[in-house]
Structures are given as C-alpha cells and as structure tokens.
Amino acid sequence: MVHSVTANGASIPAIGLGTWDLRGEVCARCVCEALDGGYRHVDTAAMYDNEEFVGEGVRASSLPREEIFLTTKVWPDNAADGDFQRSVEQSLKRLGMDYVDLILLHWPNADIPVPETMKAMCEVKARGLARHVGVSNYTTALLDEAVASCDEPLVVNQVEYHPYLDQTALLDACRKHGIALTAYSPLAKGRVFSEQILRDIGEAHGKSAGQVALRWLIQQQDVIAIPRSSRPERIAEALDIGDFTLTGREMDAVSNLSGAGERLVNLDWAPDWDR
C-alpha cells in the first residue's frame, strides 16, 4: 500500500485509478476490481462520458463510500458561475453520489474570469457537493490567480507529468501554496515501458519500468499519480510500489530523461505553458 498526500486539509491516496477512455461495463469492472484490490482513489470527469459506470463500479466494490476518494472534473465550457454548479449536480446524478471528494475545473477557460469560477467552486463546496476543490491544467500564473481569488483552499492541480516532462517550476508553485500536484499520463502513454534506463533501475529492485516511473513520481514530495489501464495485471502493478525506494542517483537518472521536455497532451485550448 502506498502513502497518502496531505494538502490543505485533504488526505489523498498517492496512487489513484485514472479512467480516461474507459467505457461501459469495462469501466465499472476496472473500478470495482481496483478498489477491491487495494485502491482507494478513483479519478473521472464529465468529459470522459463514464461517470455512470464509475459510480456503478464504486457501488459494486466491497468498500464503504467513505473509504474512497473520488474525483471528477467540470469541462471548461461550464466554467461560468451557475453553469459550474449545474455541471457538478449533473455529474453527481450520473455517479449516483451525494458528493465527490474533489471537484476540479478540467481546463482553464480564458473567456471566464478565474475569480468567477473560483466563486462557483466555493459554492459547490459550501453546499456539500464536494469536500475539496482544485484545478487542472493550470500554469503557475493561473494557479497564483486562483489561490488569490478563492475563499476555499485549493488542494490539487492536476497536470501532465512523467519522466519526459519537467514540471519543476509548477511543482514549486504548488508547494508554495500547499497544493498537491496530481500527475496524469504518468506513464507517458506507455512510452516508459520501453525506456532502458527505467528497465535497468527496475531490474535492480525487482520491478517493472512502469513501477519505477510511478515510484519516481510519488517519491517526490506532494505528488500523486493516476495511471490508467484496463488490464487487471497493470492495475495491480501500479499499486505495488510501496515496498521499494529509489536512491538519489536513481531519482536523478529518471529526472534527466526530461531533456528539453516532451508534452504529450497539448490541445488547442491549452494555456501558455510554463515550459
């Protein structure tokens, strides 16, 4: 079992199950099996079109709801006050839940002022629809603005992070505000499995290259990872990283893979990234 990350009052399991592109009964099965296999953290989003099946998987598991940290995200089209609250209500209806543990704005919306979205997010928390609030795909500048305009503490900034993308500046900004960084695409869409440096380090510890990449992430302070897989063996493998520690030299070797930085998710509406 891996540790939890504490951020502005939230305790978040450092490894969660990402559910992007999981659909239907496959999604429900993966969520149920992951939770019964030791996971306590599941991540979804309105845009994933699978909240109904994530909720089904949660209910099918053997765990009581209060033992599960559940995150969902509001699409930026609904970043305005009023639209945001309605989107959360619709997500909860699809999930079949009274609340989520964390609500995030999925991407910043340049047409909606950050303070307006933060106000709506705070109202969602005040109504008990979400226990914690945060953001996703925010740059250091946007994060500073969000913190300054939000009456509730932000607990997470969810961004792309893996050995090939240096997020040092953003991680420093998160730490300054007591915010955890949640890494999506932590396995670089599978690229890490063929990386010889990671395979060599893994061999020394009896682990796979993927496990080394995840260990590198969560061994950094205040970092959470949400790998996604539909394969039961991969889901179980991702959680099995609490019994080894990378040396300082090994951590540096993984960090050095970033080079000039390679971003795998860079959509048309993305903000001006820090790097």
Catalytic positions: 48
CB 120 within 8 A of CB 82: yes
Residue with tokens 């995200």: 73
Strand locations in the chain (E) = 4-7, 10-13, 17-18, 41-43, 69-74, 100-105, 130-136, 154-160, 180-184, 223-225
Distances, alpha carbon 104 to alpha carbons 44, 156, 201, 246, in Å: 10, 8, 35, 31
Query: Distance between CA 151 and CA 219 in Å, rounded?
Result: 30
CB atoms within 10 A of CB 173: 22
Q: 218 near 211, Cβ under 8 Å?
A: no
**Cβ–Cβ under 8 Å, residues 156 and 135:** yes
Specify burial of residue 75 (Cβ count, 10 A radius: 0-12, 13-18, 19+). middle
Q: Residue 209 is which amino acid?
A: A
Burial (CB < 10 A; 0-12, 13-18, 19+), residue 19, is buried
Host H or E run for residue 91:
helix 83-95
The distance of Cα 79 from the centroid of its chain, to the nearest Å, equals 19
